[in-house]
Amino acid sequence: MRPIYSVAEKQPASVTVKLNGGSCGQRMACLEALARAYGVPTRVRGLWLRKEFWKERLPLLKPIMPKTLMPWPQFCLEGKWVDFDEIFQPISDLCKLVTHRFTNAGMSLFDAVHSQPVDLLGKSSQYSLKDFVLSETDIFDTRDELLDRFDDRTWVGTLIFNTVYGGKPVRRVNEQP
């Protein structure tokens, strides 16, 4: 599934699949839907991210970018809740595979979790991205509940984003820091 720019976080997973592309959040929603279809319980919390997290991806919006809400899913695997960043392997194992922390410049967040720590929760010391997280929400049974409560996007902000980036392939630059 292609990584594309979008802020339509409430877009149904079926639409994202049909388009064969979506934002990290939209592709996470597809993964959640697929997990639930196979009987794997899911839940989600929101991570409020500093605008600086997006500086490599959205350079043209840097002056006006607000903090953003990232729905962060969890999956109940073998009776234990596992965060999205560890669905392939624990952060401690991922830390052994890399020499630099995730920069959000090369691979998208969604694509990176299989091969490097995308450690927004501060599970590691060396590769922690916790400094980009302003705060966390409670845990919700569904991403729709989270977004209904906290999504504060304005029509003006959505219009500006869609005019500049909407639907375009995700910008990738060298991942090396």
Read off the tokens for 175.
């991942």
Q: Residue 119: is it exposed, middle or buried by C-beta count within 10 angstroms (0-12/13-18/19+)?
A: buried
Task: Report how many helices (DSSP H) and strands (DSSP E) the chain contains, helices first.
Answer: 6, 6
Instruction: State residue 57's pLDDT score.
Output: 85
Give residue 176's pLDDT: 55
The ranges of the chain with pLDDT < 50 are 177
Task: Reduce the DSSP state of residue 87 to 3 states and report it.
Answer: coil
Tokens linked to 121: 């929760």
d(CA 67, CA 52): 9
Q: Which two tokens stand for residue 75?
A: 């999956």
Res 168: pLDDT? 84
